[in-house]
Structure 1
Amino acid sequence: MKKYIILIIAFLFSALCLNVFAQTKSYPFEVLKTGKGKQSIIFIPGFASSGEVWNETKTAFEKDFTCYTLTMAGFAGAEPQPNPSFENWKTGIANYIKENKIQKPIIIGHSMGGGLALAIAADYPELIGKIVVVDALPCLAALTDPSFKSKENNDCSATVNQMTAMTETQFYDMQKQTMPRLLQDTSKLETVIGWSVKSDRKTFAQMYCDFFNTDLRDKISTIKCPSLILLESYFINLKPAIEGQYKNLKTANFQYANKGLHFIMYDDTEWYLTQLNTFLKS
């Protein structure tokens, strides 16, 4: 009887430890799960954006899909975490997919989120069903410098120091000047600027520096899944350079928006949703 009681106590203790571990399991993002479809979509927002950037997209598809909408740690008011990096975030999302047994999800990523979609599909080709890249490039820096090479052990301290030294007013003014170059829909401007202002400044600076040093041009050759690349309207003028960056992605389907800027989901909504609907349900 005594042995039996000891075994029960040991079992309960183990269960408690497992439960505590499960509750404290940390990923580099907050996640909102909605919808009940058999096929899952993972939405990754762009640089300093909230998962709310996907609200209209999610509404259009959560009837037929289970949606996991991320907001990356330190962005748009989400709690920051130590040592943010593109690599850590890529690994964190892949681990979340594996540990939650999400079967062959579709990843939809905007801007830096599109870069993360490419990196995950390249490093874990058997894990992902499809990807949609919304206005992102394998190597942002190479658009202005085609000979760009990533630096190993890239030092981001100067960028971090510069960004963290800015006052709230200076930072807001910088974002207010920058955002109209990325977003034509003026009704969304203050919302998107607000996401930047609510972001942890150190995370903002570190990830800006880290993503600008990222080059996926060779890595994307290992992607096996269908890949829809949605690009802003101006990029049609840079088609050789854009598609040259993607030359190693053999599954790429390029589509250029009819109007608007970087936030395609806001600036050319009808076209954007039509492209997604065709690709997701094919």
Structure 2
Amino acid sequence: MKKQLITLSFITICISAFAGPAIKVEKSGSGEPILFLPGFTNPGSVWQETIRNMEGTFENHLISYAGFNGIQSIEMPWYSTIKSELIKYIVEEDLTDLNIIGHSMGGTLGADIAAELPDRIKRLIVVDGLPCMREVMMPGVAADQLQYESPYNNQMLSMTDEAFKQNASMMAKYMTFREDKVETLTQWILDADRKTYVYGYTDLLKLDIRESLSAIKAETLVIAASFPDAKTVQETVESQFERVPNKQILIAENSRHFIMFDQKDWFYEKVNSFLAK
């Protein structure tokens, strides 16, 4: 019983490794460090299945963001505060030869950090993330045209819980072919702080880090989902990541946004192969 209590205490210490106003870090394992960055609204635990299927010995740093996963929300701007606190964490923990794997906005954030701290980041894996979402989703719209106070944002903030749930469910169905994962993705959206969900997404739409990508020294793997059209996706990814010096681009066939759900075995093989280099 005493041994069990000691073990539980150790686990608690690891889970509470770092808690700032903008991020929470769950730390486990030992070895080469990997920073796991989830996508928008997702908890760090989205990476647990990937970790269980990784080959090698790693020190895992699972990140969750303010406003999601039960973490208290923060004032806007959201994205820049998240980024600043992550950089502070990396520096204070003296993480070097660091691997970063990020999904969606987590991939964008990973690339942003790799450009900011080029001498600390060894490898970077971007999973279906883009340096400038706005160019694809809102072509021709300038960043300064997007504001927190807008008719669309106000509509989202005032939406009834039932209407918001229907919207979340529709979005979740669009992000994966795995029907058994749709409810989980929907719930993550519903659990999010509504203001963070609306205004934080505005931050992401305003973001454009393409110019800074030439500073990245890390060996980089970009994995993109083929949906809705592999050829268009390939062209978009090549254009957006053009300035990354040392990169490889792979397209996951028959996959929507959550590649680690839709093509998990293929995904694990590619990640393990890349990290083993």
Q: CA deviation at 1:147?
A: 4.7
Q: Secondary structure at the match of 2:176?
A: coil
CA distance in structure 2 between the partners assigned to 1:163 and 1:96 by the alignment: 33
Q: Which residue of 2 aligns with 1:128?
A: 121
Query: Which AA in structure 1 matches 2:30?
Result: K
Q: CA deviation at 1:177?
A: 1.1
Is the contact made by 1:27 and 1:93 (CA closer than 8 Å) also made in structure 2?
Answer: no
Distance 1:62 1:165, change over 3 A: farther
Q: Secondary structure at the match of 1:82?
A: coil
Q: CA deviation at 1:228?
A: 0.5
Q: CA deviation at 1:89?
A: 1.2
Q: CA deviation at 1:144?
A: 4.7
**How do 1:75-224 residues align onto structure 2 when only pairs under 5 Å count?**
75-144=68-137, 147-151=140-144, 154-158=146-150, 159-224=152-217
Choose the corresponding residue for 1:261, options 246, 256, 262.
256
**Higher alpha-carbon Rg:** 1
Query: Which AA in structure 2 matches 1:195?
Result: W
Matched, 1:29 2:23: yes
Identity %: 31
CA distance in structure 1 between the partners assigned to 2:203 and 2:261 by the alignment: 26
Please list the CA deviations of residues 87-122 of structure 1 after superposition, one character each: whole Å capped at 9, or x if unmatched: 221111111010111222111110010110011011
Q: Secondary structure at the match of 1:41?
A: strand
CA RMSD of aligned residues (A): 2.0
Choose the corresponding residue for 1:230, options 216, 223, 233.
223
Listed as ranges, the gaps of 5+ residues in structure 1 are 1-22
Q: CA deviation at 1:202?
A: 0.5
Listed as ranges, the gaps of 5+ residues in structure 2 are 1-16
Query: Which AA in structure 2 matches 1:274?
Result: E
Moved over 4 A (4+): 144-148
Query: Which AA in structure 2 matches 1:157?
Result: E
CA distance in structure 2 between the partners assigned to 1:69 and 1:232 by the alignment: 23
Q: CA deviation at 1:170?
A: 1.2
Is the contact made by 2:18 and 2:24 (CA closer than 8 Å) also made in structure 1?
Answer: no
Is the contact made by 2:111 and 2:213 (CA closer than 8 Å) also made in structure 1?
Answer: yes
CA distance in structure 1 between the partners assigned to 2:187 and 2:244 by the alignment: 35
Please list the CA deviations of residues 26-53 of structure 1 after superposition, one character each: whole Å capped at 9, or x if unmatched: 241111111112x101111001111121
Distance 1:205 1:145, change over 3 A: closer
Q: CA deviation at 1:84?
A: 4.2
Q: Which residue of 1 aligns with 2:237?
A: 242
CA distance in structure 2 between the partners assigned to 1:74 and 1:225 by the alignment: 30
CA distance in structure 2 between the partners assigned to 1:107 and 1:263 by the alignment: 17
Is the contact made by 1:76 and 1:199 (CA closer than 8 Å) also made in structure 2?
Answer: yes
Q: CA deviation at 1:133?
A: 0.3
CA distance in structure 2 between the partners assigned to 1:97 and 1:138 by the alignment: 21
Q: Which residue of 2 aligns with 1:18?
A: none
Aligned residue pair count: 258
Q: Secondary structure at the match of 2:60?
A: strand
Query: Which AA in structure 2 matches 1:241?
Result: T
Q: Which has the higher strand share?
A: 2
Q: Which residue of 2 aligns with 1:16?
A: none
Q: Secondary structure at the match of 2:53?
A: helix
Normalised TM-score (structure 2):
0.87
Distance 1:196 1:24, change over 3 A: closer
